[in-house]
Homo-oligomer: A and B are copies of this chain.
Amino acid sequence: MTAVTIQCCAPITRDPLTEEEAAHLAGLLKAVADPVRLRLLSMIGSHEGGEACVCDLTDAFDLTAPTISHHLKVLRTAGLIDGERRGTWVYYRVIPETVARLGAIFTPLADAAPA
Protein backbone atom coordinates (compact mmCIF):
# COMPACT_ATOMS: atom_id res chain seq x y z
CA MET A 1 0.00 0.00 0.00
CA THR A 2 2.96 2.34 0.60
CA ALA A 3 3.74 2.60 -3.11
CA VAL A 4 0.50 4.44 -3.89
CA THR A 5 0.27 6.54 -0.73
CA ILE A 6 2.28 9.35 -2.32
CA GLN A 7 -0.38 9.94 -4.95
CA CYS A 8 -3.30 9.24 -2.64
CA CYS A 9 -4.23 12.76 -1.68
CA ALA A 10 -4.66 14.43 -5.02
CA PRO A 11 -8.31 15.04 -5.92
CA ILE A 12 -9.41 12.17 -8.16
CA THR A 13 -10.73 14.67 -10.69
CA ARG A 14 -7.30 16.26 -11.25
CA ASP A 15 -5.53 13.41 -13.05
CA PRO A 16 -6.74 9.98 -14.16
CA LEU A 17 -6.09 7.44 -11.41
CA THR A 18 -3.80 4.55 -12.23
CA GLU A 19 -5.17 1.03 -11.81
CA GLU A 20 -3.04 0.62 -8.68
CA GLU A 21 -4.26 3.86 -7.10
CA ALA A 22 -7.87 3.01 -7.94
CA ALA A 23 -7.55 -0.45 -6.36
CA HIS A 24 -6.06 1.03 -3.19
CA LEU A 25 -8.72 3.72 -2.87
CA ALA A 26 -11.54 1.30 -3.64
CA GLY A 27 -10.35 -0.87 -0.75
CA LEU A 28 -10.37 2.09 1.62
CA LEU A 29 -13.80 3.23 0.41
CA LYS A 30 -15.25 -0.29 0.74
CA ALA A 31 -14.25 -0.20 4.40
CA VAL A 32 -16.47 2.86 4.98
CA ALA A 33 -19.23 2.09 2.46
CA ASP A 34 -21.37 0.35 5.06
CA PRO A 35 -24.00 1.98 7.29
CA VAL A 36 -22.85 0.25 10.49
CA ARG A 37 -19.20 1.10 9.91
CA LEU A 38 -20.04 4.71 9.03
CA ARG A 39 -22.01 5.01 12.27
CA LEU A 40 -19.19 3.40 14.29
CA LEU A 41 -16.62 5.75 12.75
CA SER A 42 -18.90 8.69 13.43
CA MET A 43 -19.62 7.61 17.02
CA ILE A 44 -15.93 7.08 17.80
CA GLY A 45 -14.81 10.35 16.20
CA SER A 46 -17.48 12.45 17.88
CA HIS A 47 -17.18 10.81 21.30
CA GLU A 48 -15.97 12.89 24.22
CA GLY A 49 -12.17 12.96 24.26
CA GLY A 50 -12.06 11.58 20.70
CA GLU A 51 -12.11 7.98 21.84
CA ALA A 52 -14.82 5.46 22.59
CA CYS A 53 -14.86 2.23 24.51
CA VAL A 54 -16.42 -0.71 22.70
CA CYS A 55 -18.87 -0.63 25.64
CA ASP A 56 -20.03 2.82 24.43
CA LEU A 57 -20.73 1.54 20.94
CA THR A 58 -22.70 -1.68 21.15
CA ASP A 59 -25.90 -0.32 22.75
CA ALA A 60 -26.72 1.84 19.73
CA PHE A 61 -27.00 -1.22 17.47
CA ASP A 62 -29.34 -4.15 17.33
CA LEU A 63 -26.35 -6.36 16.53
CA THR A 64 -24.37 -8.98 18.43
CA ALA A 65 -20.98 -8.14 19.96
CA PRO A 66 -19.13 -10.36 17.44
CA THR A 67 -20.78 -8.48 14.56
CA ILE A 68 -19.74 -5.11 16.01
CA SER A 69 -16.23 -6.54 16.51
CA HIS A 70 -16.11 -7.62 12.88
CA HIS A 71 -17.02 -4.11 11.68
CA LEU A 72 -14.46 -2.53 14.03
CA LYS A 73 -11.84 -4.92 12.68
CA VAL A 74 -12.60 -3.86 9.08
CA LEU A 75 -12.19 -0.18 10.06
CA ARG A 76 -8.98 -0.99 11.91
CA THR A 77 -7.51 -3.06 9.08
CA ALA A 78 -8.21 -0.16 6.71
CA GLY A 79 -6.28 2.20 8.99
CA LEU A 80 -9.37 4.27 9.81
CA ILE A 81 -9.33 3.58 13.55
CA ASP A 82 -6.87 2.32 16.10
CA GLY A 83 -7.65 0.47 19.32
CA GLU A 84 -5.90 0.13 22.65
CA ARG A 85 -6.81 -2.30 25.43
CA ARG A 86 -6.96 -0.69 28.85
CA GLY A 87 -8.21 -3.02 31.55
CA THR A 88 -11.39 -4.79 30.48
CA TRP A 89 -12.13 -2.74 27.38
CA VAL A 90 -10.64 -1.76 24.06
CA TYR A 91 -10.74 1.99 23.41
CA TYR A 92 -10.93 3.18 19.82
CA ARG A 93 -9.87 6.45 18.17
CA VAL A 94 -10.19 7.67 14.61
CA ILE A 95 -6.93 7.97 12.68
CA PRO A 96 -7.41 11.49 11.28
CA GLU A 97 -4.80 11.09 8.51
CA THR A 98 -6.77 8.27 6.85
CA VAL A 99 -10.07 10.15 7.12
CA ALA A 100 -8.38 13.27 5.72
CA ARG A 101 -7.03 11.21 2.81
CA LEU A 102 -10.58 10.24 1.89
CA GLY A 103 -11.60 13.89 2.18
CA ALA A 104 -8.74 15.02 -0.03
CA ILE A 105 -9.54 12.73 -2.93
CA PHE A 106 -13.05 14.21 -3.14
CA THR A 107 -11.96 17.82 -2.73
CA PRO A 108 -13.10 19.95 -5.66
CA LEU A 109 -10.18 21.21 -7.75
CA ALA A 110 -10.79 24.87 -6.87
CA ASP A 111 -10.25 24.09 -3.17
CA ALA A 112 -7.29 21.78 -3.66
CA ALA A 113 -3.72 22.75 -2.94
CA PRO A 114 -1.58 23.25 -6.07
CA ALA A 115 0.31 20.20 -7.30
User: B46 near A15 (CB under 8 angstroms)?
Assistant: yes
Instruction: Determine the chain B residues whose CB is within 8 A of the CB of A15 once the complex forms.
Output: 42, 46
- Contact partner of A108 (CB less than 8 A), chosen from B36, B41, B60, B96, is B96
Instruction: Determine the chain B residues whose CB is within 8 A of the CB of A89 once the complex forms.
Output: none
User: A100 near B108 (CB under 8 angstroms)?
Assistant: yes
Instruction: Determine the chain B residues whose CB is within 8 A of the CB of A33 once the complex forms.
Output: 26, 29-30, 32-33
User: A38 near B13 (CB under 8 angstroms)?
Assistant: no
User: CB within 8 Å of B: which residues of A?
Assistant: 11-17, 19, 22-23, 25-26, 29-30, 32-36, 38-39, 41-46, 60, 94, 96, 99-100, 102-108
Of all A-B residue pairs in the complex, the 4 with the closest CB atoms, nearest first, are: A13-B45, A103-B106, A29-B33, A102-B106
